[in-house]
Amino acid sequence: MLAALDGFQVVIQPIVHLRDFNHLAGLECLVRGPAGPLEHPDQFLGEARRCRAFMAVEAAICRTVAARVAPRLPLNGANGDAPSAFVNVSRETLLAGPDGAAGRSLLPFADRVTLELTGDGPATIPCTALQEAWSRWRWSGFRLSIDDLGEGHNGLAAVVGLEPDYVKLDLGQLRRVAPFRLPGVLRSLADCVKELGAVPIAEKVESSEELELVEAAGVGLVQGFHIALPQDFDTFFAGRALP
């Protein structure tokens, strides 16, 4: 199975401003395993953990982003509004710091990369250790997004402790846990994220009706199948002029 872990690809999905889909805020870099039973990212990354190759695979994904995506994004100016490559990283990679295997490849593009902290991984890593590690990444110029608020270890404690730039609100998760109270729950979460100093991003937006709910909740950045499907980065960048 170890050989199969080399056959991944990275695709990108735009994060855009709700009122102007052509105004790009970021590109989430998503992994896809080789065709077959490991194609879905959960299965692929789960197999990497089982084979004790997870950190090596995550570092390889970051090298791909550094080689193929980040160099195509504009330098971030003083106002920090240029689009950023959102790269999913685990707690282990965050803890390794910018001088770890993943960090070394991304470091030349720090101003163009937002680390998206996933909710999986060991629960035994102390919050203080993550805070100290994240301070080194931030000092190097990276930004941070908390993925899937409320999923796994990504609760409010992570938002308060790490003070991220962005927090992802997963509409797929909210559909499951609060289908009849979605508008109110979404607004409450968005207000909470803003109160804590971060920018909320609504992800897994899959219909015009959900887009209206997101707008009513006061969330300005969106991502999902209703906006754009994940696609190969060469296809995305072909003929596209970024600011």
Per-residue pLDDT at 95: 93
Number of domains in the chain: 1
Q: Is position 107 within any domain?
A: yes
Looking up tokens 């163009």, which residue turns up?
112
Domain that holds residue 76: 3-237
The string of pLDDT tens digits covering residues 13-64 is: 999 999 898 889 999 999 998 888 888 988 999 888 898 899 999 999 999 9
Q: Is position 52 within any domain?
A: yes
Q: Is position 243 within any domain?
A: no
Cα dihedral sign, 109-114-116-121: positive
Percent of the chain with pLDDT over 70: 90
Q: Is position 93 within any domain?
A: yes
Q: Is position 242 within any domain?
A: no
Answer whether residue 152 shows pLDDT above 80. Answer: no
220: CATH:
3.20.20.450
Q: Is position 149 within any domain?
A: yes
